[in-house]
Structure 1
Amino acid sequence: MGAKKRIGMGIASAMLGAALIGGGTFAYFSDTEVTNNTFAAGTLDLSINPTSIINVDNIKPGDSFIRDFELANNGSLPIDKVLLNTDYTIVDAEGDNTDDFGNHIRVDFLYNVNKFDEVIFSTTLAELKAMSPEVVNENIFYPMFGEKGLPVGSVDDLIVKFVFVDNGEDQNQFQGDALNLTWTFTALQEAGQQR
């Protein structure tokens, strides 16, 4: 390679090196802004008062019991639906049951304390246990709450009448038995929305 070419290559290399060094120290204007953002989730808080709705003993066919309780929305979000899941166990004192005691306990959900005869929905505990919670909502809570659901801070009274149905037949198999009822109430939020 000739001297001119070597000198030309040297100059080109020096220029390339200078361009690379100069590129690292290029100055420009800039401005930075920072935003602080928060996503805070609301709360669903359904409460029941009293937590024990019914405790009776020495019942006999034909007896009935009216009990009322409150459902309250103590959360920060409206409750769209309340689902009720029914479960119970039977203590068969004599071990002679041929029928489910729950078939003989009728449950009447009533509108309010002043109108004990105005029934929203009537069923037996056995039927209630077999129902899906969504069906219970459609037949009991939707007629009571309607489209408004259970708004934040609201309290609704529920009145229930339990009847040990006298079917006019021999019900001796239930003497001394007990039915332990568990109701589980589940609150569901309203659908999310664009805000």
Structure 2
Amino acid sequence: MDKEQGMRLRTFVCVALGVLVMQGVSAPARAASSVQLFGDDGSPRFSFYLACVSKTVNCEIIERMFGHWADDRNLSVHTVTPEEAARLPENPAQGQVDGGPYRVTVRYAPEMVSVSNSLVSASKGPPLVSYVANVRVFDSVSGKLIKSMTWRKEDMADRDQGGANPYLDAQVHDFLKHLDPAYAKSPTS
């Protein structure tokens, strides 16, 4: 590969990574019905089921981050295993109804990957930290799927930041601003 081809390849890789990072915006909700997950007093009207699925991120960290939010909102987080996550679209209303008229299931998939700065050399760049969150809202009595949403985000980590946890925390908060906008604006968050 000559020098000019190497420069074109590096330019292509940088542009492609830029496009990927710019696509880290939220995907729109896919449902016609409106769901009021929080009462007028701000109290949750749902029970919450979280499945963290990742090959590169310790899900205990993510579960603790969601736990802080749940504690602030007087809500219980029911964690499910990755095996159970595959069944989340099934009727979650089986069993006792608790937490109001809705059950919210979240399959939260955080990932962290090293990105090579160049295909020519073996140099590694800063890690790319991302998440994809699939949310389903079910009627807690009938088990009928009412609403389905997907959000995602990617951030290129700064090597000088000193770890991935601040990025993981920021991404959980990014997700929560969609699910619970009032919490995202509160001074305690």
TM-score category by the smaller chain? under 0.3
* Higher Rg: 1
More strand by share: 1
Structure with the bigger RCO (C-alpha within 8 Å, sep 6+) is 1
TM-score w.r.t. structure 1 length? 0.25
TM-score w.r.t. structure 2 length? 0.26
